[in-house]
Amino acid sequence: MRFLSIGECMAEMSPAGDPRDPRAYRLDYAGDTYNTAWYFRRLRPDAGCAYLSAAGDDAPSDAMVSAIGSAGVDTRFIQRRAGESIGLYMIVLDGAERRFCYWRSASAARNLAEDPARLDAAMEASDLLFFSGITLGILPRAGRQALLDALSRARARGRTVAFDPNLRPALWSDADEMRAWIMRGAQVCDIALPSREDDAAHFGDRDGQAVLDRYRSAGARCVVVKDGPGPVLYAAGEEIGAVETPPADSVVDTTAAGDAFNAGFLSRFDSGEDMAGRIARASSLARHVISVRGALAPPPDAALLS
Ligand code: ADP
């Protein structure tokens, strides 16, 4: 099985936690679709796992692509663009609250869908394709359409497409534009992985069932609705159900809980395991991720997921 995740990875600067030096920061690399690839790689060392994106040709781009490669994620579909660079975000502590400040408007990843032939080649070399509402949000209008068209072609050639709507109003010029493109994304996917809270807030869905129904009506044959500590609702073909989420021992940092959940669920794509089992594994991984600080928690003990 060959997994391809599509989107933007950024440099992340997070407080180093040194009280004597509040200006000490730590450099990492993260981004929703990259986080999912990172976890997928750890869960499935036997499978293909590649990242489709774009970076520049400067030193920060070199360092990021090298870090992605060192994490075991295949970088051959990360286009290197002359004269361009990568995006950056900084985590600023405001008491116990974490605020995210972004510098991403000039990121090369905004051009990741410029060449349809590149998209087709990467998708052709993969079985399971994953993208998000953030991937769509960072792209210019023509890029969004080019990506959706390429995903439709790949799907017609038998590839499976998974989509996390990951609604981020700040990336869109207005809420109507965001909703319209998210639903276009939904129309090209087989598997939708929305979050009840975000989707209800931005689409006005009254509950998880309404979220599920909206993605099913758009054409997704498999929908899994995450809901923080609440039960995960799902539908796959005619099968509909809910899986309780076991309570977390401690909630330290919920960053990337949804990204890790997606990796846990998608990593069992070819296993033949039933939906409830796949969701339980995804929840185990997400529970581990929220119990530690940072997006990319140290590799989970495989026993957590068995
Ligand atoms: P997102 O990060 O995409 O907003 P959620 O907040 O719904 O997604 O969380 C994703 C998954 O993480 C949940 O389905 C659940 O498995 C796990 N999770 C999140 N918050 C909690 C919590 N407080 N207790 C237990 N599990 C949680």
Residue 290 in contact with ligand 1 by CB distance below 6 A: yes
Tens digit of pLDDT at every position of the chain (306 positions): 999 999 999 999 998 888 788 889 999 999 999 999 999 999 999 999 999 999 999 999 999 999 999 999 999 999 999 999 999 999 988 777 788 999 998 899 999 999 999 999 999 999 999 999 999 999 999 999 999 999 999 999 999 999 999 999 999 999 999 999 999 999 999 999 999 999 999 999 999 999 999 999 999 999 999 999 999 999 999 899 999 998 888 888 888 999 999 999 999 999 989 999 999 999 999 999 988 887 887 656 654 555
Q: Which of 130, 167, 199, 261 to mutate to test the pocket of ligand 1 (most atoms within 8 A of CB)?
A: 261
Provide the residue range defining the domain that includes 108. Answer: 2-305
Q: Look at the chain and report how many structural domains it folds into.
A: 1
Residue 257 in contact with ligand 1 by CB distance below 6 A: yes
Residue 193 in contact with ligand 1 by CB distance below 6 A: no
- Which of 176, 199, 259, 301 is catalytic? The answer is 259
Q: Which of 32, 134, 195 to mutate to test the pocket of ligand 1 (most atoms within 8 A of CB)?
A: 195
Q: Which of 33, 283, 292, 305 to mutate to test the pocket of ligand 1 (most atoms within 8 A of CB)?
A: 283
Helix axes 196-203, 175-187, angle to 10 degrees: 120
Residue 251 alpha carbon, nearest atom of ligand 1 = 23
Cα(292) to ligand 1 centroid in Å equals 13
Residue whose CA is closest, atom 24 of ligand 1?
229
57 is catalytic: no
For residue 249, what is the domain's CATH number?
3.40.1190.20
Cα(228) to ligand 1 centroid in Å equals 3
